[in-house]
Each structure stands twice: as C-alpha cells, then as structure tokens.
Amino acid sequence: MNLWSSDGYLKNAAYVPALGAAVLDLLDPRPGERILDLGCGEGTLTEKIAAVGAAVLGVDNSPEMVAAAKARGLAVRALNIEELQFSREFDAVFSNAALHWVRDHDAMLDGVHRALKLGGRFVAEFGGHGNIAAIQTAIRAFHAHRGLPIEGRRYYATDVEYGERLAAHGFLVRQIGLIPRPTPLPNGIRGWLETFERHTLERLPEDLREPFKEEVEELLRRELCDRKGQWTADYVRLRFAATRS
C-alpha cells in the first residue's frame, strides 16, 4: 500500500520542505559534490541541492513521490533507505523530515556510513523527542476508548540518544540539538491527519474513519487551535551534522 500521495502532500504539507532551509544551509552543498538525499519525497529540496551544481541522487520508498520527483527532471530511485547498498560513493548524505519513519535505524546508519567517502558529511533533520506529543495522545485516546490496537510507527529520539547512536556507527557528531518548531497547518488538523495518518485511517474500519478525524479534532481544539481557527502542530525537530570517521 502506497501511503503517500504527492498531490495530497503538496496540498497539506508543502511547509515541510519549505521549512528545510536551515538544514539545507547546514549541508552547504557545493558544485561537483555527489550527494544522496534520503526520503527525497517529491524533490523540492533535491532540486535546490542540484541547483548549486551538485550531482544529487534522491531515494524514496514511495513510487508516487519518486514519479513526481522524476517529473522535475531529477535523478531519483525507489528504494528502502534501510537497505542502502552504496559503497563510498558520496561526499554527503542529506535528509529532511523523513528519518522518523525509519524502523531500523541501525541498518540505515550502517548503510549511510558505507555510502559516504571517508570524511563525508551526514546532515539531517527529522522529528525529535516530544514531536507531535499532543496529536499522538489524542490518536491513542481514540483507539483506547474503542479497544483498538495502534501501531507505533515513528521514532522520536532525544539529541543525547541519537548522538550516541551516530557515534556507535562510526560518525563524529559535529552538532546536534532539539528544536521546538510550532508549525501552522494550512488545512487544519484534518488535512494533517489525512496526509500523515493515512496508515491509521486505512487500518480503521470504514465507518470509524470520519469519527476518528472528528474526535481527534475536538480533543486537540483547545490545545492546538486559536480563536481565529488557526491550527498549529506541536513539532519538535532533531537536527544534526556528523562526519564519517
């Protein structure tokens, strides 16, 4: 099942690549470098990396996202980033807003380390400890009230935990930190749920999908919606720059 729609992503979550400017600056891509973009999505930031003259390869496990990125004229492959098979090919590996979806971080980090040249850079930003805490609590409350199982699919690490994990896989951590980032949602919490909780919605019986959106919306209204009706997600990002040793 393809959980990602490029059209839905651009409609409800275009702010995700738009907010990637800081991590892109941290990458500081240079002309002639070969760079791997993990979880490239529809290619917004991949395109920016290519624009400076770097030879960038994007990888993503969503065929629809890969097709959208290829339509931009980018070099992209459909690939599970836990199964990287590159060997000392890249000057840098980059990722924005993707690694919290990875289930096996040890396999992914081994693959990144193997893919980088000696001294190569690994620069990334993704959901960190405390990210969408209120949203996750509301989703769990809906399931608990009905005795429904819920699958934990995201990994939100602390900076200390992930720094130790990077070091254990042969990286020298140059900087790492958690960044609170309250993020306005252009189409409210419903648009967010329809984009980022598609897996949850698909697993629910069809007659519970609309009640799910309604109940989660009401549970979160006092916390995440202001008096003018503007919804803001409780995002926390983990950003780091490391070097392959």
Q: Tell me the per-residue pLDDT of 202-216, one tens digit each, with 9 for 90 and over.
A: 999 999 999 999 999
Q: What is the CATH number of domain 6-131+154-185+235-244?
A: 3.40.50.150
Q: What are phi and psi of 167, to 5 degrees?
A: -60, -40
Domain positions in the chain: 6-131+154-185+235-244
Q: Tell me the per-residue pLDDT of 1-23, one tens digit each, with 9 for 90 and over.
A: 445 444 544 444 455 566 788 99
| pLDDT value for 9 | 46
pTM of the full predicted structure?
Answer: 0.90
Higher pLDDT among residues 58 and 8, named by residue:
58
Q: Tell me the per-residue pLDDT of 123-155, one tens digit each, with 9 for 90 and over.
A: 999 999 999 999 999 999 999 999 999 877 799
* pLDDT over 90, % of the chain: 89
